[in-house]
Amino acid sequence: MKDMHCRDVGMNCDFVARGSTEQEIMDQAGRHAQQAHNMTVTPELADKVKGLIHDESSDAHRQSMARR
């Protein structure tokens, strides 16, 4: 599984989008951004979010968890 931590985008938020594909995560993150943060996902934001998707077994994930 892969995931993306909203906190990594720069928000003070514990939301984590999880999925087996980048597209699943982007769908969840897009809905969350609109509902929770009243944000529109621009192409720039989508690029940033895509760059923050990581595997749950990766070092990047452990760092995201440690930041809580």
Give the binding site for Zn ion (CB under 5 A).
6, 11, 13, 15, 36
Q: Which is nearer to Zn ion, 15 or 57 (CB)?
A: 15
User: In the bound complex, what is the minimum distance in angstroms from residue 16's beta carbon to Zn ion?
Assistant: 9
Q: Which is nearer to Zn ion, 36 or 65 (CB)?
A: 36
For residue 25, give the nearest of 61, 59, 63, 62 by alpha carbon. Answer: 61
Q: Which is nearer to Zn ion, 39 or 60 (CB)?
A: 39
d(CA 65, CA 4): 11
